[in-house]
Amino acid sequence: MYPTKYHKPASLEDAVAGLRSAEDGALLAGGQTLLPTMKQHLAAPTDLIDIRGIDGMSGIRVEGDVLVIGAATTHAEVAGSSDVQAAIPALAQLASGIGDAAVRHMGTIGGSVANNDPVADYPSAVLALGATIVTDRREIAAEDYFQGMFMTALEEAEIIRELRFPKPRRAAYAKFPNPASRYALVGVFVADTAAGACVAVTGASESGVFRHEGLEAALSGDFSADAVDGVEISSEGFMSDIHADADYRANLVRVMARRAVAALG
Amino acid sequence: MTEGIGARVKRTEDRRFITGKGKYTDDIRMENQAYAAFVRSPHAHAKVTGIDRSAAEAMEGVVAVLDGHQLTGDGIGNIICGWAITSKDGSAMNMGAWSALATDRVRYVGDAVAVVIADTAAQARLAAEAVEVEYEELPAVTNAEKALAEGAPQLHDNAPGNLIYDWEIGEEAATDEALAGAAHVTELPIVNNRVSPNAMEPRSAVAIYDEADEHYTLYTTSQNPHVARLVLSAFYNVAPEHKLRVVAPDVGGGFGSKIYIYPEEITCLWASMKTGRSVKWTSTRSEAFMTDAHGRDHVSKARIGFDTEGKIVGLKVDTIANFGAYMSLFSSAVPTYLYATLLSGQYDIQNIHCNVRAVYTNTVPVDAYRGAGRPEACYLVERLMETAAREMGADPAELRRKNFITEFPHQTPVIMNYDSGDFHGNLDKAMAAADVAGFDERRKEAAARGKLRGLGYSCYIEACGIAPSAAVGSLGAGVGLWESAEVRVNPVGTIEVLTGSHSHGQGHETTFAQVVADRFGVPLNSVSIVHGDTDKVQFGMGTYGSRSGAVGLSAISRAMDKVEAKVKKIAAHTLEAAEDDIVIEGGEVKVAGTDRKMAWHEVGLAAYTGHNLPPDMEPGLKEGAFYDPVNFTFPAGAYICEVEVDPDTGVTEIVQFTAADDFGTIINPMIVEGQVHGGVAQGIGQALLENVVYDDAGQLLTGSYMDYAMPRAWDTPFYTLEHNTTVCPNNPLGLKGCGEAGAIGAPPAVINAITDAIGDNDLQMPATPQKVWRMIQATQTPIAAE
Ligand SMILES: Cc1cc2nc3c(=O)[nH]c(=O)nc-3n(C[C@H](O)[C@H](O)[C@H](O)COP(=O)(O)OP(=O)(O)OC[C@H]3O[C@@H](n4cnc5c(N)ncnc54)[C@H](O)[C@@H]3O)c2cc1C
């Protein structure tokens, strides 16, 4: 790792100020993505601004029909929260399937959503559930937030404070883990929401997480696993790598969608 | 006996391992410690046209920046392969030069070109990045078949066509004739995929040069520190043997990859002399993927012929072995004497011919990896047997039984002389434990759940304790393959055993002590096992090829014979009895049938006080032995794997795995079971998950656990283990060896089960979900033509 300066501000304002004044600052949450890249010398921020000491950055609460999760809340906290399990059990289940125990006890929802890895799990839930990303300066709707792999609507020195998830009627997540990394080779999050059937796919597309219109249309008419079978899943724009080619990923989108819908009960 | 041979004693060494008190090479910190970081080639093949060290040298903490010209200039010798193989035309193998630091050319991504020595590891790494190496890129080749092709990039001037050797074994004409007359011939292309060893502890070295005594010490992650010292001294000219101490302290796994002497250890020793500092290097996980010797990587074509009765008439094999960019220490022996000599499997085959071409490519060197040649042989033979049975409409177990060798000793046409075994008995036990009879029901039940269930066999045989020395010498080995031991009984009766074997996960401190406790009737905790330090232990050969039991313990047993003889003499003298009447039992040395006796420790004391010894007897109680076996040992077994394949995703779940092994005498069943569990898990890893992938330009695509799939607990089932023991007739304890069997026997059982489930035999490892899904698409749901 290259030498770097570590800061742990107590307020959002100090964190933003710290970021702005640093030569090349980076926010640090659980460090489960950032630190490995720094150790490999692929990133070399001059300053690390740890957001975990900021008051109110972590924690889970329910506000009416909305589940609110602080950005610095760990995957293990989400997985183990009775509030999450009651409001959106699929989200707790998704969190429990991220990485391994060590990763889940360090990694955070805010870090995952800020990073927007095309094979990460959370982005699919955020998009399918129509969550709102609340930052230090504004609220961003999920559909405006994700802008391609590793790309988001976040501006320079913008910090995610919390995520607001409207409770769906029902939701389920089915993940096919990459045999090596256990990230999603394909993950499909299906939600039955006030806005209709929402299906978000992660792991598959070269443009990162996306909503599958064909699957949504089919499920809007008939919310059943069988409805999935008739949908054409195009592999265009899907990733091909040593683990899976685009066609196999397209197959997995169908199979995972089917399994997620079947799991809705 | 609660502690002796056959007892399930918990591993005594585990206390320090699981409480974090183990002492590994990286735990060693010297006064004046400096750290090495290597400058490595980012190219698979290039000329080195210049090295600019000025920026690095100016950096904070940097002690020295050293390159290959300095290294060779100081007379450090090239890295060698220690087993000479002769091609079928009589020519010697073509060994290309391998300098610990490259001088003018690099041949794989990760090849070391320079080293930075600095005060801290971080400073060394930063400075290594600042060393500017100028390369002139050359075309690269990573695939062995392509490397043999006309016009392929050439790696070494003295290996035209990238060919290291073209070797054969067996009678070609007779085999061709037998196959021509066969009633049925099964032909299969077989790829044995390349794997990365992934020991939990990465390689590490601490080199210390003492200028006053001109003496070197090397702490290193080695499976055989004595051989390391010999080679470092005799070939790499680091220092004469008596001026070089090599210590392999606790070592966290090797699987073969820590047999070899790598560029980094050599460089650290030399750099320590150059800088006057003690120099430490510990591999990162990325460096481990890039530079630890890989395993396997064979491409073969195989044909096996049967008569109308289903008896095998001949087997012909053509194998291409990828050796990577340089010849690693034992590389040449793996696809020849450790592979082709096992192609007879458990079967009576009169005609076998195998041709092997060893090839250079722009990849990391390949060498022995858990099983070393035997897994490749077993996989090939057992895939052929299962496939042949299916093609002929025969039951795969019956076809094997028809061809089993039942009389011993049995001379195969490929050198090996099997000494013992009970192949029918192994298979009986495995089939009963696996409830093969109930398989059809289980298959139907799985089908009702939408799963494809399959069952596969593997009847493996392997050869351990490679020996005897005269024989391996005649086949080209540069070393003898015996083992040494010294048994020291202290004046207080406690016992220290110095062994040339080396434990890096095998549990020697427990099993070896059990054998000693068993022999002398002393408590286990009064015995300690000393290994891994050339200053303490006499010359020895180390641990690989499952040799520590069959060879290492045999040496200890021989040394104990001598101790026992002296103990009896002393007791007979003291107790005024005949030597023949003395028995050693339960920690006492007695005159049989009387109440006259000495406690074990009283004999020890008598030996060292020397107050009352038989005339002409030297004081002391310490004996040594060098044991050279008369033959290999031949562990064998029957493995049965049952899988369920999900046709929607191609995912394979191993639902049942049964192993019936014949390891000869078992000293500690718990440790043996652990070896089988680990070996089978490694075999499952190779069959389902593990695969090293280079792209065509020679970049390593599987350079981390993000892309290299290691088996995890949930990839492996609960195993059913059986033992069917026939005692090895050729060593004092009747041991055969168990360290590699699982990794040898498991892969074909897994693949045979999957091919059974999906009804298609043309599957190569690893059976990834995508590959299996695609085959299911082709075989089970043919797409209607438009
Ligand atoms: C072995 C391993 C396995 C993994 N497996 C999975 C898996 O299966 N599925 C999966 O989805 N993920 C997986 N991950 C990634 C893991 O979930 C990470 O925790 C997550 O992607 C990043 O969260 P973090 O808190 O660790 O962020 P950090 O690494 O600290 O930061 C990541 C990035 O986000 C930025 N950032 C962090 N917090 C904020 C914020 N509040 N506002 C704005 N920017 C912010 C940082 O500046 C940085 O650029 C794995 C990681 C590892 C190491």
Q: What is the pLDDT of residues A63-92, one digit of tens each?
A: 999 999 999 999 999 999 999 999 999 999
Cis peptide before B468 (omega within 30 of 0): yes
Chain A contact present for B774, CB below 8 A: yes
Strand order of the β-sheet with B132-137 is B105-106, B46-52, B132-137
Question: B139, B45 in Cβ contact below 8 A?
Answer: yes
> Does residue B567 share a domain with residue B437?
no
Sign of CA dihedral B7, B9, B13, B18: positive
Question: B186, B388 in Cβ contact below 8 A?
Answer: yes
Residue type, A191: A
Instruction: Give the C-alpha separation, A148 to B613, whole Å.
Output: 88
- CA nearest A244 in B: which residue? B770
Is A98 a residue whose pLDDT tops 50?
yes
Query: Distance from the CA of B586 to the center of ligand 1, in angstroms?
Result: 62
> Does residue B640 share a domain with residue B585?
no
Q: Which of B597, B627, B657 is the last residue of a domain?
A: B627
Chain A contact present for B701, CB below 8 A: yes
Chain A contact present for B162, CB below 8 A: no
Q: Write out chain B residues lying below 8 Å of A183, CB-based.
A: 706
Q: What percent of chain B has pLDDT over 90?
A: 97
Q: How far is CA A254 from the centre of its chain?
A: 20
Q: Which of B13, B424, B463 is nearest to B252 (CA)?
A: B13
pLDDT averaged over every residue in chain A: 96
- CATH code of A170-263, in short, is 3.30.390.50
Residue type, B584: I
Q: Which of B528, B165, B524 is nearest to B335 (CA)?
A: B165
Q: Which position has the higher pLDDT, B87 or B478?
A: B87
> Does residue B723 share a domain with residue B658?
yes
Strand-pairing partners, residue B117, are B36, B64
Among partner residues B122, B126, B705, which is closest to A180 by beta-carbon distance? B705
Instruction: Give the C-alpha separation, B457 to B477, whole Å.
Output: 34
Please give the full DSSP string across B435-459, using - where no structure is assigned. Answer: TGGGHHHHHHHHHHTT-EEEEEEEE
Token pair in block for residue B89 = 């035309």
Instruction: Give the C-alpha separation, B161 to B155, whole Å.
Output: 9
| pLDDT digits 0-9 by tens, B368-402 | 999 999 999 999 999 999 999 999 999 999 999 99
Is B739 a residue whose pLDDT tops 80?
yes
Token pair in block for residue B100 = 């610990």
Instruction: Give the C-alpha separation, B632 to A190, whole Å.
Output: 60
Token pair in block for residue B13 = 């060494």
Cis peptide before B189 (omega within 30 of 0): no
Element (H, E) at B749: helix B741-758
Question: B541, B227 in Cβ contact below 8 A?
Answer: yes
Structural domain boundaries in chain A? 5-48, 60-166, 170-263
Angle among Cα B646, B650, B653 to the nearest 5 degrees reads: 55
Mutation target to probe the A interface, by most A beta carbons within 10 A, among B59, B194, B449, B648 is B648
Give me Rg for the CA atoms of chain A. Answer: 18
Residue pointed to by tokens 């999050």: A189
Is B781 a residue whose pLDDT tops 80?
no
Cβ-based burial of B91 (10 A; exposed 0-12, middle 13-18, buried ≥19): exposed
Mean of the pLDDT values across residues B559-575?
Answer: 97
CB contact under 8 A, A243 and B768: yes
> Does residue B366 share a domain with residue B262?
no
Strand order of the β-sheet with B622-627 is B527-530, B495-499, B483-489, B622-627
Token pair in block for residue B374 = 């035997």
Element (H, E) at B750: helix B741-758
| pLDDT digits 0-9 by tens, A17-30 | 999 999 999 999 99
Query: Distance from the CA of A50 to the center of ligand 1, in angstroms?
Result: 13
> Does residue B620 share a domain with residue B572?
yes
Residue pointed to by tokens 């640093």: A22
Is B1 a residue whose pLDDT tops 80?
no
Strand-pairing partners, residue A174, are A188
Q: Which residues of B476-488 are buried (b: 16+ CB within 10 A; e: fewer)?
A: bbbbebbbbbbbb
Sign of CA dihedral B39, B43, B45, B47: negative
Q: Write out chain B residues lying below 8 Å of A1, CB-based.
A: 122
Q: Write out chain B residues lying below 8 Å of A252, CB-based.
A: 649
CB contact under 8 A, A181 and B774: no
**pLDDT band at residue A221, thresholds of 50, 70 and 90?**
confident
- CATH code of A5-48, in short, is 3.30.43.10
Give me the pLDDT at residue A265, please: 64
Residue type, A100: D
Question: B352, B413 in Cβ contact below 8 A?
Answer: yes
Q: Which DSSP state fits B135?
A: E
Instruction: Give the C-alpha separation, B115 to B292, whole Å.
Output: 18
Segment among A46-55, B376-385, B462-471, B630-639 with least mean pLDDT: B462-471
Q: Pairing mode, if any, of strands B312-322 and B352-359?
A: parallel
Q: What is the three-class DSSP state of B219?
A: strand
Among partner residues A179, A183, A252, which is closest to B689 by beta-carbon distance? A179
| pLDDT digits 0-9 by tens, A136-178 | 999 999 999 999 999 999 999 999 999 999 999 999 999 999 9
Q: Write out chain A residues lying below 8 Å of B770, CB-based.
A: 243-245, 248
Query: Distance from the CA of B362 to the center of ligand 1, in angstroms?
Result: 36
The domain containing residue B22 runs over which residues? 14-138+200-253+258-291
Which atom of ligand 1 is least distant from the CA of A32? 26
CB contact under 8 A, A248 and B709: no
Mean of the pLDDT values across residues B711-730?
Answer: 96
What are the helix (H) ranges across B653-720?
A: 669-684
| pLDDT digits 0-9 by tens, B294-315 | 999 999 999 999 999 999 999 9
Please give the full DSSP string across B2-20, using - where no structure is assigned. Answer: -SSTT--PPPTTHHHHHTT
> Does residue B129 share a domain with residue B273?
yes
Give me the pLDDT at residue B782, please: 44
Residue pointed to by tokens 């792999």: A149
Give me the pLDDT at residue B785, please: 37
Query: Distance from the CA of A29 to the center of ligand 1, in angstroms?
Result: 8
Give me the pLDDT at residue B702, please: 98
| pLDDT digits 0-9 by tens, A193-215 | 998 999 999 999 999 999 999 99
Query: Distance from the CA of A213 to the center of ligand 1, in angstroms?
Result: 28
Pocket test of ligand 1: the residue of A6, A11, A20, A32 to mutate, having most ligand atoms within 8 Å of its CB, is: A32
Query: Distance from the CA of A35 to the center of ligand 1, in angstroms?
Result: 9
Element (H, E) at B147: helix B144-148
> Does residue B559 share a domain with residue B576?
yes
Q: What are the angstrom distances between the C-alpha of B86 and each of A188, B89, B92, B348, B374?
A: 58, 8, 5, 28, 20
Please give the full DSSP string across B515-542, using - where no structure is assigned. Answer: HHHHHHT--GGGEEEE-SBTTTS-----
Query: Distance from the CA of B776 to the center of ligand 1, in angstroms?
Result: 37
Measured by CA distance, the residue closest to atom 36 of ligand 1 is A111
Residue B785 lies in a domain: no
Q: How far is A118 from chain B (nearest CA, A)?
A: 14
Which atom of ligand 1 is least distant from the CA of A36? 53
Same fold yes or no, A60-166 and A170-263? no
CA torsion, ordered A190, A196, A200, A206, to nearest 10 deg: 150
Give me the pLDDT at residue B161, please: 98
Residue type, A10: A
Instruction: Give the C-alpha separation, B696 to B138, whole Å.
Output: 13
CB contact under 8 A, A40 and B286: yes
Sign of CA dihedral B59, B64, B70, B76: negative
- CA nearest B287 in A: which residue? A40
**pLDDT band at residue B779, thresholds of 50, 70 and 90?**
confident
Mean of the pLDDT values across residues B53-74?
Answer: 98
Could you tell me which residues come within 8 angstroms of residue A222 by beta carbon, excluding any fewer than 6 positions away? none
Using N-to-C axis directions, what is the helix angle for B769-780 and A246-264, rounded to 10°? 90
Which atom of ligand 1 is least distant from the CA of A183? 8
Give me the pLDDT at residue B586, please: 87
Instruction: Give the C-alpha separation, B601 to B595, whole Å.
Output: 17
Mean of the pLDDT values across residues B433-453?
Answer: 98
Instruction: Give the C-alpha separation, A217 to B88, whole Å.
Output: 68
A59: left (phi > 0), else alpha (psi -120 to 50), else beta? left
Q: How far is CA B327 from the centre of its chain?
A: 17
Instruction: Give the C-alpha separation, B177 to B179, whole Å.
Output: 5
**pLDDT band at residue B784, thresholds of 50, 70 and 90?**
very low
> Does residue B599 share a domain with residue B541?
yes
Instruction: Give the C-alpha separation, B306 to B315, whole Å.
Output: 9
Pocket test of ligand 1: the residue of A103, A154, A188 to mutate, having most ligand atoms within 8 Å of its CB, is: A103
* Residue B595, domain CATH: 3.30.365.10
Q: Which of B627, B650, B674 is the last residue of a domain?
A: B627
**pLDDT band at residue B524, thresholds of 50, 70 and 90?**
very high
- CA nearest B774 in A: which residue? A248
Chain A contact present for B687, CB below 8 A: no
> Does residue B726 share a domain with residue B669?
yes
- Does the A60-166 domain belong in CATH 3.30.465.10? yes
Which atom of ligand 1 is least distant from the CA of A182? 8
Ranges assigned E (strand) in B171-262: 184-192, 204-210, 215-220, 244-247
> Does residue B598 share a domain with residue B498?
yes
**pLDDT band at residue B467, thresholds of 50, 70 and 90?**
confident
Number of domains in chain B: 3
Chain B contact present for A244, CB below 8 A: yes
Q: How far is A24 from chain B (nearest CA, A)?
A: 19
> Does residue B330 share a domain with residue B266?
no
Residue type, B547: R
Residue B393 lies in a domain: yes
| pLDDT digits 0-9 by tens, B200-255 | 999 999 999 999 999 999 999 999 999 999 999 999 999 999 999 999 999 999 99
> Does residue B722 share a domain with residue B759?
yes
Mean of the pLDDT values across residues B278-305?
Answer: 98
Instruction: Give the C-alpha separation, A158 to A139, whole Å.
Output: 11
- CA nearest B714 in A: which residue? A179
Q: Which of B576, B600, B627 is the last residue of a domain?
A: B627
